[in-house]
Amino acid sequence: MNILIFHNAVLPVIEYGGTERALWWLTNDLVRLGHRVTLLVAKGSTCPFAEVLFYNPNISLTEQIPDYIDVVHLSIPPPADFHKPYILMVQGNPKSDEVLDQNTVFVSQNHAFRHNSNAFVYNGLDFDEYPTPSFSNQRKHVHFLANASWKVKNLNGAVNISKKANEKLMVMGGSRINFRMGFRFTPDLHVKFFGMVGGKIKFHLMDYSKALLFPVLWHEPFGIAIIESLYMGAFVLGTPYGSLPELITSEVGFLSNKEDELIEKLKYSESFNPKISHEYVRDTFSSRKMALNYLKYYELVLSGKKINPVAPKATFDTPKYLPYYT
């Protein structure tokens, strides 16, 4: 199959970018499965295993799709004149009144359900990019892994949980200073900020971490940080919103929107086994599974069918911030 993946960003990303990393891993596994993949991406991109074309925003997207392409994997809705079979991958939460394309594919069952759809594919990791965690390490801290400037990610909640549980917190994804907000909170010796980090620094911090603190205040569509942390042997403490109840089993984490319950669970971290968390991700969230599941949707649209019988749209409104009790 000749597949084109379109995303107007530079690939590969080095430190941050959930959608970009998922598409990179997807491309690699589609190629490993014997398919020809072309990337239509921003200027400056390179890829050793797929052809790269540079997207020109001044030209219609339709005109930039080569004739030999069978199916297109989009990250934005197609223009009205688009003529190739396609799917539209949605990684974020659309606006509540937004009507989506009939060929939309979501990233979790909850994500799809909230938009009156059954079509979803879990993101998966390319395990070749990850070291094998050390299950014998003394885990000395907990970590936060998200864009700390997004209030829905609830960095303040993670700080409070770790402080009250007397645990050091490593923050990956932000700094203590925010130029729009000033200091997020008073200096505290139990919190250390690393900014947007990736690679060896990130893996090292997760390899010595007891848990990912993920007390989000919105319906999380998926959360690559969740499966990365579990893969490296850290369990997950989070809120029961969005995809988290379907991703986090009782063996690998605990969910509550009550801060005191999350604090109490963190105090008994020895009840979680790092190897079980690691094996759970290896069995469930691989980029190979992701590629095979997207192929089913490619084949569906190639047969002339629509993925969703009606255009997906949010089935209910949610508040900007979901409840979190301190």
pLDDT tens digits, one per residue of 124-136: 999 999 999 999 8
Q: How far is CA 23 from CA 69, 82, 160, in A?
A: 17, 21, 34
Give the number of residues written for the chain.
Answer: 326
Q: What is the pLDDT of residue 131?
A: 95
User: Is 64's pLDDT higher than 70?
Assistant: yes
Q: What angle do CA 114, 119, 123 make, to 5 degrees?
A: 95
Name the pLDDT band for 32 (thresholds 50, 70, 90): very high
Mean pLDDT (the chain, rounded): 94
Q: What is the pLDDT of residue 199?
A: 83
User: Is 186's pLDDT higher than 80?
Assistant: no
Mean pLDDT within 279-301: 98
Looking at domain 130-283, what is its CATH homologous superfamily?
Glycogen Phosphorylase B; (3.40.50.2000)
Name the pLDDT band for 177 (thresholds 50, 70, 90): low
Where in the chain is CATH 3.40.50.2000? 2-125+288-302, 130-283
CA 301 to chain centre: 25
Q: What is the pLDDT of residue 17?
A: 75
Residue 105: which residues within 8 A CB-CB, separation 6 or more? 87, 88, 89, 90, 119, 120, 121, 294, 297, 307
User: Is 183's pLDDT higher than 60?
Assistant: no
Q: What is the pLDDT of residue 182?
A: 47
User: Is 188's pLDDT higher than 50?
Assistant: yes
pLDDT tens digits, one per residue of 6-30: 999 999 987 777 899 999 999 999 9
Number of neighbouring beta carbons within 10 Å of residue 49: 13
User: Is 302's pLDDT higher than 80?
Assistant: yes
Mean pLDDT within 164-174: 93
pLDDT tens digits, one per residue of 201-228: 999 999 999 999 999 999 999 999 999 9
Phi, psi of 58 (to 5 degrees): -90, 0
Q: What angle do CA 224, 254, 223 make, to 5 degrees?
A: 10
Phi, psi of 69 (to 5 degrees): -70, 135
Name the pLDDT band for 38 (thresholds 50, 70, 90): very high
Instruction: Give the three-state DSSP class for 108.
Output: coil
Q: What is the pLDDT of residue 176?
A: 62
Query: What CATH code would you report for 2-125+288-302?
Result: 3.40.50.2000
Q: What is the pLDDT of residue 317?
A: 87
Name the pLDDT band for 181 (thresholds 50, 70, 90): very low
pTM comes to 0.95
